[in-house]
């Protein structure tokens, strides 16, 4: 909700440059955020004339006591339920600056909306109910501010009238919240006792708070430092859409930072294509001149002097200011979904207008933000924080948060629903080439060539779309036996199947690799890239490889995207020990004890495979039939009985 305002005294010339400060106000439900904002609007003279009187009249007609929060609760459901459901932005003017107040919901169920609000802020007011003290949700909000990179925070202890303006009670709350915030390096600039309902501490203190000699809420706001002017930052123009209009292709979006001018040479990230700005488009008006420049905050359209490919999710920048074309990133996340986030999870990654399918390849740590205690690092539970590595299905234009707060924040979705968000800590756009000395080289002047045959043409010809069937399991579990039988089955039905056996590729493509953890990971990476390439070109790539690391398999999944189908070939260690590495029972002479010990103690079984085939209890035919059923549902054309399995 945007509220129109009138300037507060003293009047400042509209020609004078006034800094804009974005402040998010967070706190637990019913701690008084809306009441505080209503008071701030009133005491800065930022309300339309007669607004308070009109709302008081409405309250009288409803038989309700007037509340300052009614100034903000525009939704009837919010008035009925007494809680804020969505973020709202309210502009006020203090004598020294323009302030955009972002009212974020405090209820646990609406933390998703709070992330959206807080992600836009330069500073924060953290609200606490004096009668309730510091709650778990208060601690979560504090940690979330830290997570989102907000370093300027003032704590406002509201409802001091309910505790008799007790100085000792305030001192206890101040000590507790200051200790909590300092635990992760977030020192509050001020801790302020107020009563928003009565107006104490907003712009001045009454005798009831005579024992306090610090800042008011308004002086604390004026002490915050605005962010560096967005016009002076690197150009970041995320593309929202490309329109065909007359003979022009208009690239439209909102300039998040920097400036652009007609004639500027620009680069399109992540592709790196370069062109010049031919024009900046605007709605035609009689006598109006076409604009020659545009700056941060403006939604504009531009045309280019070359017909290069630009799409939604790309970022227009200057050639010397390009963001990373990232295939992998590390992020510090606040996780919201009820299902814990685990290695191997797939989700949608959004940065600006760009999106890609992502796969979690590692979890560095996890923390309960309410208690600041480390928890199981294998997963991140709901309402907890952690650092994760994510592999992307295709490159996204990414900045780290310390470079750009606008393109350095990430939102994660699961099945179309926001499941988490946070900061990009690092982004890897380099192509790592494995060597025994762990050297890395950069790929330069590489242009990917698109096939002359479309995926649909291949699907019509082969009777199925491309797929990766990744068979993983302990040595001796029967992966190769299943893979061979599946390859034969697909071939006999007219399909195109290619077997990629892990050991076989170690005799050629991967013969330079040994069996250290890094070399095994590189072995799986190469298998994954080859399999993904085959799948994108219509083949069913059948991979049989131990691939013991869940993180390595997650990278393979990320490379193949929706083509990837993970099959866990399960068998007990006892059964595997009685077989050779390919899953065949060993033949022993009379009196000979088999000494094959192929059990891999480092093997990490899939947490949620697409299919599990138990070769200890079932036959090869039953295993192949189960995989066939998966392929019929996901890969083969139902309309082609001659090619269906």
- Rounded CA-CA distance 234/352 in Å is 15
In three-state secondary structure terms, 240 is strand
Q: Is 189 a residue whose pLDDT tops 90?
A: yes
Residue 252 confidence class, pLDDT cut points 50, 70, 90: very high
- Rounded CA-CA distance 551/553 in Å is 5
What pLDDT was estimated at residue 31? Answer: 78
Number of alpha helices (DSSP H) and beta strands (DSSP E) in the chain: 14, 28
475-497 pLDDT per residue, tens: 888 888 899 999 999 998 889 99
- The sign of the torsion formed by the CA atoms of 457, 462, 464, 466 equals negative
Mean pLDDT of 381-386: 83
Mean pLDDT of 212-219: 93
Q: Are both 20-223 and 230-321 of the same fold?
A: no
Name which of 349, 361, 346, 329 is nearest 426 in CA terms. 329
What pLDDT was estimated at residue 260? Answer: 92
Residue 168 confidence class, pLDDT cut points 50, 70, 90: very high
Which ranges constitute the DSSP H helices of 310-464? 455-462
In three-state secondary structure terms, 633 is helix
> Which one is predicted more confidently, 75 or 126?
126
Q: Is 208 a residue whose pLDDT tops 80?
A: yes
Q: Is 375 a residue whose pLDDT tops 70?
A: no
Name residue, tokens 């952690």: 386
Q: Is 111 exposed, middle or buried (0-12, 13-18, 19+ CB in 10 A)?
A: buried
Residue 84 confidence class, pLDDT cut points 50, 70, 90: very low
What pLDDT was estimated at residue 314? Answer: 94
Biggest alpha carbon–alpha carbon distance for the chain: 102
Whether this prediction's pTM lies above 0.85 is answered by no
Among 132-146, 356-370, 542-556, 591-605, whose mean pLDDT is lowest?
A: 591-605
What DSSP character marks residue 236? B
What pLDDT was estimated at residue 55? Answer: 63
Which string of DSSP letters, residue by residue, matches 437-503? T-------S--PPPPSS-HHHHHHHHSB--EEEEEE--TTSSHHHHHHHHHHHHHHTT--EEEEEHH
Mean pLDDT of 299-307: 91
What pLDDT was estimated at residue 48? Answer: 58
Beta bridge partners, 333, equal 386, 422
- Rounded CA-CA distance 571/103 in Å is 55
Q: Is 391 a residue whose pLDDT tops 70?
A: yes
Other Cβ atoms closer than 10 A to 378: 13
- Decide if 224 contacts 123 (C-beta within 8 A): yes
What DSSP character marks residue 505? H
List Cβ neighbours of 554 (8 Å cut-off, separation of 6 or more). Answer: 343, 344, 359, 360, 361, 391
- Tokens of residue 303, six digits: 């045309």
Residue 132 confidence class, pLDDT cut points 50, 70, 90: very high
- Rounded CA-CA distance 212/190 in Å is 12
515-572 pLDDT per residue, tens: 888 888 888 989 999 999 999 899 999 999 998 888 888 888 888 888 899 999 988 7
Other Cβ atoms closer than 10 A to 312: 15
424-451 pLDDT per residue, tens: 988 886 433 333 333 333 444 445 566 7
Residue 595 confidence class, pLDDT cut points 50, 70, 90: very low
Q: Where are the beta strands (DSSP E) in 49-206?
A: 88-93, 98-103, 123-129, 153-158, 190-193
- Tokens of residue 279, six digits: 């024009």
Name residue, tokens 């590189």: 522
Peptide bond before residue 10 is cis, with ω within 30 degrees of 0: yes
Q: Is 597 a residue whose pLDDT tops 50?
A: no
Which ranges constitute the DSSP H helices of 22-135? 33-43, 51-62, 76-81, 111-118
What pLDDT was estimated at residue 610? Answer: 87
Q: What is the CATH number of domain 20-223?
A: 3.40.50.300
Superfamily of domain 455-586+594-634: P-loop containing nucleotide triphosphate hydrolases (3.40.50.300)
Q: Is 70 a residue whose pLDDT tops 60?
A: no
Selecting among 384, 547, 549, 552, the annotated active-site residue is 547
% of residues, the chain, pLDDT over 70 = 75
Mean pLDDT of 352-375: 78
What pLDDT was estimated at residue 434? Answer: 31
Residue 125 confidence class, pLDDT cut points 50, 70, 90: very high
Q: Is 117 a residue whose pLDDT tops 70?
A: no
Q: Are strands 153-158 and 123-129 parallel, antiparallel or unpaired?
A: parallel
- Decide if 422 contacts 410 (C-beta within 8 A): yes
- Rounded CA-CA distance 394/357 in Å is 8
- Rounded CA-CA distance 380/388 in Å is 9
Q: Is 127 a residue whose pLDDT tops 70?
A: yes
Q: What is the CATH number of domain 324-428?
A: 2.40.30.10
- Tokens of residue 147, six digits: 């997570």
Q: Is 373 a residue whose pLDDT tops 60?
A: no
Peptide bond before residue 270 is cis, with ω within 30 degrees of 0: yes
Name residue, tokens 């814990």: 340
- Rounded CA-CA distance 190/170 in Å is 13
Superfamily of domain 230-321: Translation factors (2.40.30.10)
- 547 annotated active-site: yes
Beta bridge partners, 274, equal 267
Angle at 524 between CA 520 and CA 525, to 5 degrees: 115
Name residue, tokens 């595997």: 576
What DSSP character marks residue 636? B
Q: Is 474 a residue whose pLDDT tops 70?
A: yes
What pLDDT was estimated at residue 599? Answer: 45
What pLDDT was estimated at residue 304? Answer: 94
- Rounded CA-CA distance 73/75 in Å is 6
Domain ranges of the chain: 20-223, 230-321, 324-428, 455-586+594-634
């Amino acid at each position: 909700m945007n509220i129109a305002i009138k300037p507060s005294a003293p009047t400042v010339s509209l020609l004078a440059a006034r800094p804009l400060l974005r402040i998010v106000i967070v706190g637990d439900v019913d701690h008084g955020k809306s009441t505080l904002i209503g008071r701030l609007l009133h005491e800065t003279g930022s309300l339309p004339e007669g607004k308070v009187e009109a709302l008081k009249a409405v309250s009288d007609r409803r038989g309700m006591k007037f509340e300052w929060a009614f100034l903000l609760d525009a939704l009837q459901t919010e008035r009925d339920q007494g809680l804020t459901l969505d973020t709202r932005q309210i502009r006020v003017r203090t004598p020294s600056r323009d302030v955009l107040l972002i009212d974020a919901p405090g209820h646990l169920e609406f933390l998703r909306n709070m992330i959206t609000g807080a992600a836009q802020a330069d500073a924060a007011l953290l609200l606490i109910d004096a009668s309730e003290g510091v709650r778990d949700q208060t601690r979560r909000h504090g940690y979330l501010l830290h997570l989102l990179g907000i370093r300027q925070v003032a704590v406002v202890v509201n409802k001091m009238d309910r505790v008799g303006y007790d100085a000792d009670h305030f001192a206890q709350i101040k000590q507790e919240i200051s200790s909590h915030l300092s635990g992760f390096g977030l020192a509050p600039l001020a801790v302020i006792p107020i009563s928003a309902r009565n107006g104490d501490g907003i712009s001045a203190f009454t005798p009831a708070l005579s024992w306090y000699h610090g800042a008011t809420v308004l002086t604390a706001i004026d002490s915050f430092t605005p962010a560096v002017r967005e016009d002076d930052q690197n150009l970041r123009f995320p593309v929202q859409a490309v329109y065909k209009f007359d003979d022009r292709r208009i690239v439209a979006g909102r300039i998040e930072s920097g400036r652009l001018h007609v004639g500027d040479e620009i680069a399109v990230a992540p592709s790196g294509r370069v062109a010049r700005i031919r024009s900046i488009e605007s709605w035609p008006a009689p006598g109006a001149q076409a604009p020659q420049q545009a700056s941060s905050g403006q939604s504009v359209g531009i045309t280019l002097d070359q017909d290069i490919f630009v799409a939604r999710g790309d970022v227009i920048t200057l050639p010397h200011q390009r963001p990373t074309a990232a295939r992998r990133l590390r992020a510090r996340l606040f996780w919201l979904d009820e299902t814990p986030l685990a290695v191997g999870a797939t989700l949608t990654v959004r940065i600006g207008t760009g999106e890609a399918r992502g796969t979690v390849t590692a979890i560095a740590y996890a923390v309960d933000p309410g208690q600041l205690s480390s928890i199981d690092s294998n997963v991140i539970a709901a309402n907890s924080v952690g650092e994760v590595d994510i592999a992307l299905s295709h490159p996204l234009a990414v900045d780290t948060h310390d470079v750009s707060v606008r393109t350095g924040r990430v939102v994660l979705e699961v099945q179309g629903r926001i499941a988490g968000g946070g900061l990009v800590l690092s982004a890897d756009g380099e192509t790592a080439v494995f060597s025994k000395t762990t050297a890395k080289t950069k790929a330069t002047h590489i242009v990917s060539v698109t096939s002359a045959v479309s995926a649909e043409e291949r699907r019509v010809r082969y009777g199925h779309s491309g797929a990766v069937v990744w068979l993983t399991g302990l040595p001796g579990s029967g992966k190769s036996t299943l893979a061979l039988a599946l390859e034969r089955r697909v071939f006999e039905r007219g399909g195109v199947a290619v077997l990629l056996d892990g050991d076989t590729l170690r005799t050629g493509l991967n013969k330079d690799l040994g069996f250290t953890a890094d070399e095994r990971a590189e072995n799986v990476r190469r298998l994954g890239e080859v399999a993904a390439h085959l799948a994108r070109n219509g083949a069913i790539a059948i991979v049989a490889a131990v691939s013991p690391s869940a993180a390595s398999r997650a990278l393979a999944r990320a490379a193949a995207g929706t083509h990837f189908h993970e099959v866990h070939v399960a068998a007990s260690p006892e059964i595997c020990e009685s077989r050779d590495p390919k899953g065949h029972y060993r033949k022993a002479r009379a009196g000979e004890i088999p000494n094959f010990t192929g059990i891999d103690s480092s093997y990490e079984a899939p947490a949620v495979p697409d299919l599990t085939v138990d070769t200890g209890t079932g036959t090869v035919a039953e295993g192949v039939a189960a995989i066939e059923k998966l392929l019929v549902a996901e890969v083969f054309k139902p309309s082609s009985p001659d090619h269906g399995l």
